[in-house]
Amino acid sequence: MPLLDEQGRLFGLINIVDAIVVIAVIGVVVVAGLVLVPAGETDTQPGETRYATVVFNDQPEAIASQITVGDTLSAVGGGGETTISDTYFSPSRGDNTSRLYVRIRYDSNNPPQQQNRQFRAGRVMYFGTDEYGGRGKILAIDRPSDTLPTSRTNVTIEATVPASVSSSLDRGDTFTFNDTTLTEVTSVSAVPVANGTRSRLRVDLTLQTIRLGYTRYFAGNRVQTGSHLPLVTDSHWIPGTVVHTAEYRQR
């Protein structure tokens, strides 16, 4: 079959002029589509809202107190901004050894990343705000909650201390961080020992604890019968032993 017949039709089906017009129209449509999405940009839609828990170890209290709910936390040198939705401070007796747990919210289509490393539990990344930067470990990811798994836990501890220490401890003593009460003494009893130079304390406390896995923690220690746990107030740090724990009351 000839390419054009006697009437100028392409393969005997369509006029050659009409074919040229159709091709030109298709070309214009394609070019217009390219113009709508400029070079270097993608039509990325927002993804699902997801959450992760990150812990910052070895933190001075003064620095940890500056990180608050609503702050933007970014992966340093990478991409993907997150928003802090909850925090929990875990005190320590030594300088610069406290821990700060943060709950972050992010878009599943734009997760934090660093050096093209996948964002996943167990990975360590460098995060920062406008005023702070530090290394954080991702503990959990995709839990469907914007809050950390914290609760009020009733605990009884025993400790032997100098008599002067026991006399300075009172019901109502607290340890507070960023307007959150982490420890409250609800009762104190003391029995003199060692000719009255020391006292055996029995103290009831209400603690703000955090659950990691299936275990509650406070000040880096397990909150369970028989475990070592410090009695922490704004003016005391007393090593003790847990003799009783109550049912958790979820926040």
Residue 94 structure tokens:
């030594």
At residue 122, what is the residue type? G
| Digit-coded pLDDT (tens) for 181-212 | 999 999 999 999 999 999 999 999 999 999 99
Q: Is the Cα torsion angle 179, 218, 90, 112 positive or negative in sign?
A: negative
More confident position, 67 or 45 = 67
pLDDT tops 90 at residue 17: no
pLDDT tops 70 at residue 230: yes
What percentage of the chain has pLDDT greater than the value 90?
A: 57
Nearest to 201 by CA among 170, 234, 233, 246: 170
Domain borders along the chain are 1-43, 49-141, 150-250
Q: Which CATH class is domain 49-141?
A: mainly beta
Please, what is the average pLDDT of the chain? 83
Q: Residue 188 pairs with which residues in a beta bridge?
A: 203
| 1 — pLDDT class (breaks 50, 70, 90) | low
Res 95: pLDDT: 65
pTM above 0.85, yes or no: no
Number of alpha carbons in the 13 Å side-chain half-sphere of residue 17: 2
pLDDT tops 90 at residue 6: no
